């Protein structure tokens, strides 16, 4: 590890520790959870409709459900969770999408592992995969997409 990367690690650790002490950050986490819960419901509803009503492959259904949930979550996280009205919506949307893609890769990997590897039913597997990917999503959006 170089001196520069060690300094970055110390600054990040210090920033995280200070952030944990601020009540406003915990309130943001609660709001993020509420928005996430709405996105979770939207995601699962669209996923279930695609798989059971439209007969779509679970991977296609996962992508479709994710796109609908991302649009829902961007709107509510920008407006309510992080109250990032002063930032440029286009830049925030691009960053939000990048973070969401990274979290979705985690989601899709867990979904594939549970369905193909453990023969789990698709909808419960998707429910678990969303929960596993959520911490990546929060940290990326808090620290980058909607950073002040």
pLDDT at 97: 94
Mean pLDDT, residues 78-102: 91
Break the chain into its structural domains and give their ranges.
Answer: 3-145
Q: Could you tell me the two tokens for 102?
A: 């990274």
Q: pLDDT tens digits for 92-109?
A: 999 999 999 999 899 999
Tell me the H-state helices in 77-121: 89-112
Q: Which residue has the higher pLDDT, 9 or 13?
A: 13
Residue 34 in contact with residue 27, Cβ under 8 Å?
no
C-beta separation of 142 from 82 below 8 A: yes
Q: Which helix (H) or strand (E) is 45 found in, with range?
A: helix 23-48
């Amino acid at each position: 590890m170089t001196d520069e990367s060690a300094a970055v690690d110390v600054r990040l650790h210090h920033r995280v520790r200070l952030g944990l002490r601020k009540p406003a950050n915990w309130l943001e986490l609660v709001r993020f959870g509420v928005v996430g819960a709405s996105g979770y419901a939207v995601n699962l509803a669209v996923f279930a409709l695609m798989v059971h009503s439209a007969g779509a492959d679970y991977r296609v259904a996962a992508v479709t459900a994710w796109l609908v949930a991302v649009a829902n979550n961007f709107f509510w996280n920008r407006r309510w969770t992080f109250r990032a009205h002063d930032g440029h919506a286009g830049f925030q949307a691009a960053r939000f999408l990048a973070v969401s893609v990274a979290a979705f890769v985690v989601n899709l990997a867990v979904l594939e592992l549970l369905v193909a590897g453990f023969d789990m039913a698709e909808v419960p597997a998707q429910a678990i995969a969303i929960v596993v990917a959520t911490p990546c999503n929060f940290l990326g959006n808090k620290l980058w997409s909607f950073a002040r």
